[in-house]
Amino acid sequence: MLSFLEKTPFEMLEALKTKFRAKRKALKLTQKQLSIKSDVSLGSIKRFESSGQISLESLLKLALVLECLGDFEGVCCEVEEMPKSIGEIINENK
């Protein structure tokens, strides 16, 4: 296991399904209403909320309806390389 990861893939699935269910409920949508609005099958939504399993396309459709699609913008973005030491920071500013 890569020690720098904060969460395992399983933990991420668990967190995502919980957040999506909470967001759906906060917007006062039933699973059936969400299915109709998102064009994602009711079975897929039920499976996602119980097991975390869902296709990426369906997940993004749900995110659009649940008003959190923009949260995916930061996935796999290039990260600015951090200085390795205070010396690098000082030398960059000279």
CATH topology (fold) of 9-70: 434 Repressor (Amino-terminal Domain) (1.10.260)
| CB-count burial class (<10 Å; 0-12, 13-18, 19+) for 45 | buried
Q: Mind listing the pLDDT tens digit for each residue in 43-92?
A: 999 999 999 999 999 999 999 999 999 999 888 877 777 666 777 667 76
| CB-count burial class (<10 Å; 0-12, 13-18, 19+) for 13 | middle
pTM: 0.76
Q: Residue ranges per domain, the chain?
A: 9-70
| CB-count burial class (<10 Å; 0-12, 13-18, 19+) for 14 | middle
- Alpha-carbon radius of gyration of the chain: 19
